[in-house]
Amino acid sequence: MNGLAILRGMQHYVGKVRTMRNEIRTQRFMNALPADIRKDIGWPDMYAERRSHSN
């Protein structure tokens, strides 16, 4: 395995970790909103539906 392949693998891994952290941060932010605002924007129902379609 050459250095470029290792670097690409690390970049992919770091990108996945960054995405997971951003999703967790977004979930915390959305859950901190008042219940009426969450209901108006469809949280968490719309999010759960999106996650089930992407897997």
Residue-wise pLDDT tens digits, 24-52: 999 999 999 999 999 888 887 766 666 66
pTM, to two decimals: 0.65
The 3-state DSSP class for residue 33 equals: coil
pLDDT of 20 reads 95
The token pair at 41 is: 């924007």
What's the CA gap between 10 and 49, in Å, rounded?
30
The mean pLDDT value for 6-32 works out to 94
The token pair at 46 is: 């719309």
pLDDT of 49 reads 66
pLDDT of 48 reads 64
